[in-house]
């Protein structure tokens, strides 16, 4: 597959939410890209800017609630920051789709599932009601739903959380988008259902050649599911690379902290390791490295903010930390 044009390209993007007497700097120079057919993870704690990145990619943040201070964001070669609303309505659902954390809030509680699926399919594909119904049944069957007709007749509250999320995935794939953005798609589900839903998502994406941007705080999920990963902290990427490389040789102390918090990294009976402190206030970010206050390796040079730098000249593998550079220069 040619990687000539990424389906999503974000370059040095900074965004702030104006607030009383200050502004919340939610994104601070984010750069990331997703190639066709790739599954890419964006991982970080709450407040790292990962959901803002996802929402902005689809232009779902309330207009005039934010200000772009630098950078660009394009989807399939189209400038998403300047696209008029009528173009966005065509892009959403057809070229790119989104799956949210809680399917109950994304589905209309007063309408049957079938009606909602048919509306989306007919709106984007201009096919007859009977053809749309057949397509809805086929989509649900692809999600390993044994009785699709029964699900189509149901209201959202009559389905379990896992079943609702399967409906959302079926809905997202209904127009065969080139990019699917999944924002914490399994947070509301229990662990066994999580795995089923993610396997279905991956199977369907591989089958259709759809790229996925998976937003999550769960490193274990990324390790099983993603080809590449971006680690975000305070609205910026602090480490990126192939998932296997980042998992086996994390370079940034924050990534190491996230990984050491996984249960499988700890001897049974021992307390789980946590990262001390908390994410700094985004309205008053320090001028230097934003992780320095929580970092055991903090040095005087951390008073200056490190830039995302290639490791061993590998453009895919980068980190924003003075430490590896110090070690390499010695």
Q: What is the pLDDT of residue 2?
A: 45
Cβ-based neighbours of 230, under 8 Å, separated by 6 or more: 32, 40, 41, 42, 43, 237, 239, 240
Portion of the chain with pLDDT greater than 70, in percent: 97
What's the rounded Cα separation, in Å, for the pair 123 and 161?
26
pTM above 0.75, yes or no: yes
pLDDT tens sequence across 283-298: 999 999 999 999 989 9
CB 56 within 8 A of CB 86: no
DSSP class of residue 265 equals G
| Average pLDDT estimate for 310-322 | 89
CA distance between the termini of the chain? 40
Residue 116: is its pLDDT beyond 60? Answer: yes
* Mean pLDDT computed over 248-268: 86
DSSP 287: S
pLDDT of residue 313: 82
129-133, 270-274, 283-287: the lowest-pLDDT one: 270-274
Whole-number pLDDT of residue 7: 95
Q: What is the pLDDT of residues 157-181, one digit of tens each?
A: 999 888 898 898 888 888 889 999 9
- Please give the full DSSP string across 146-208, using - where no structure is assigned: S-HHHHHTS-GGGS-HHHHHHHHHHHHHTT--SEEEEESTTTTS-HHHHHHHHHHHHHHHHHH
Is residue 326 over pLDDT 80? no
Q: CB count, 10 Å around CB of 32?
A: 20
Res. 327 pLDDT band, cuts 50 70 90: low
What are the structural domains of the chain? Answer: 8-95+177-329 (3.40.50.300), 103-176 (no CATH)
**Is the dihedral angle over the CA atoms 63, 69, 178, 246 positive or is it negative?**
negative
Does residue 323 carry a pLDDT above 90? no
pLDDT grade for 1, boundaries at 50, 70 and 90:
very low
Q: Which token pair is 56?
A: 């902005």
Is-contact 93 177, C-beta < 8 A? yes
């Amino acid at each position: 597959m040619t990687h000539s044009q990424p389906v999503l390209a974000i370059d040095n993007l900074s965004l702030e939410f104006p607030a009383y007497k200050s502004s919340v700097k939610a994104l601070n120079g984010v750069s990331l890209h997703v190639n066709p057919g790739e599954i890419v993870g964006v991982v970080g704690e709450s407040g790292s800017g990962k959901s803002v990145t996802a929402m902005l990619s689809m232009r779902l943040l309330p207009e005039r609630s934010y200000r772009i201070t630098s950078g660009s964001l394009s989807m399939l070669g189209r400038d998403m920051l300047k696209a008029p609303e009528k173009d966005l309505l065509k892009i959403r659902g057809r070229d790119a789709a989104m799956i949210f954390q809680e399917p109950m809030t994304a589905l209309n509680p007063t309408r049957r599932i079938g009606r909602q699926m048919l509306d989306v399919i007919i709106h984007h594909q201009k096919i007859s009601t009977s053809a749309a119904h057949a397509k809805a049944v086929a989509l649900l069957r692809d999600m390993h739903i044994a009785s699709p007709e029964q699900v189509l007749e149901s209201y959202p509250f009559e389905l379990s959380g896992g079943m609702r999320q399967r409906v959302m995935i079926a809905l997202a794939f209904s127009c065969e988008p080139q990019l699917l953005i999944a924002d914490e798609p399994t947070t509301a589900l229990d662990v066994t259902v999580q795995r089923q839903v993610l396997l279905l998502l991956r199977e369907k994406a591989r089958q259709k050649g759809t790229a996925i941007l998976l937003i999550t705080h769960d490193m274990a999920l990324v390790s099983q599911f993603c080809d590449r990963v971006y680690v975000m902290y305070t609205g910026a990427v602090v480490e990126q690379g192939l998932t296997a490389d980042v998992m086996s040789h994390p370079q940034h102390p924050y990534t190491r902290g996230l990984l050491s918090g996984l249960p499988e990294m700890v001897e049974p009976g021992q307390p789980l390791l946590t990262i001390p402190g908390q994410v700094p206030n985004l309205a008053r970010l320090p001028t230097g490295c934003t992780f320095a206050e929580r970092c055991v390796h903090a040095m005087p040079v951390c008073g200056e903010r490190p830039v995302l730098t290639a490791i061993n000249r590998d453009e895919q593998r980068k980190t924003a930390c003075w430490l590896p550079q110090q070690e390499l220069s010695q």
